[in-house]
Structures are given as C-alpha cells and as structure tokens.
Amino acid sequence: MYERALQSHEGERGDLLVHFPGLGEHRWSHMAKWLNIVETTPREWNLPLEETGYLNKTTTYWSQIRSAKESIKSAEKKLKSGEVVSGNTNETVNALRNTLREKSDNMELTQQQTEDLNVLIGI
C-alpha cells in the first residue's frame, strides 16, 4: 500500500501541492492512502520553509512580476510622450498585460514578453 501510494503521485517531500495524474476512477482511493501516510508520518514529509525552494521561487516570481510592470510603465510613458518606439509596442504591452492577468504562473512566457518589450522600447 505505502509503495503503491507513493508511485501514484507527482510531488516531493515538503511540497504544498501533490498531483495524482491519470488515475481515473482510482484517484480518490490513492489520494486517501496518500493523505493517511502523510497524516500518520508527518515528520517524514513536512519540511521547514527554509529547506524548501519556496522562498527562492516566491522571491523570483515577484521580482519578475515587478520587472514586467516596470517595463509596461516605461513603454506607456514613451508612448504618451510621443517618443519613437517600434510599431508593435502597443500590441506587446497588451500581450504582456494579458499574460500578467491570465498566465502569470508561466514564468518563461512572462520573462520572454518582458524581454521583447524591453527591446522594443530600448531598455
């Protein structure tokens, strides 16, 4: 039971989220087994925050969001002032804004769109 429950999930020690892919009708029974294991042996699964990657991931995430917002602000300032910028700057700003609103968990996309905008506005 223990080994089978461990093999039916995606997640690691200290994770806040565990995924149970492709189990279909067996998902709930595997989740119940997993929950029982974690609840009966919490010291084996819980980690202090400092030993997880969450602090670094959170800092990186919010830094990237701030950078994207600063790029949008710089682009809007240049557009308002009439400063010459590439013709598709508005579209790139709108795409990045949409990514921040709808897909901000996609860090690669956010980073790429921020870089694209920075090139267009000369940052």
114 and 58 inside one domain? yes
What does the pLDDT read at residue 1?
36
Per the CB < 8 A criterion, the answer to whether 95 and 117 are in contact is: no
Confidence tier at 87 by pLDDT (50, 70, 90): confident
Residue 58 shares a structural domain with residue 97: yes
My answer on whether 70 and 13 are in the same domain is no
Average pLDDT rounded to a whole number, residues 98-111: 96
pLDDT at 36 over 60: yes
**Is residue 113 domain-shared with residue 59, that is, in the same domain?**
yes
Looking at the structure, tell me whether residues 63 and 115 fall in a common domain.
Answer: yes
Whether residue 30 is predicted with pLDDT greater than 90 in this model: the reply is: no
> In this structure, are 62 and 117 located in the same domain?
yes
Residues 42 and 75 in one domain: no
Domain that holds residue 29: 2-48
Q: Is the pLDDT of residue 18 over 90?
A: no
Give the total number of structural domains in the chain. Answer: 2
pLDDT, tens digit, 9 for 90 and up, residues 38-68:
889 888 888 888 988 899 999 999 999 999 9
Residues 64 and 111 in one domain: yes
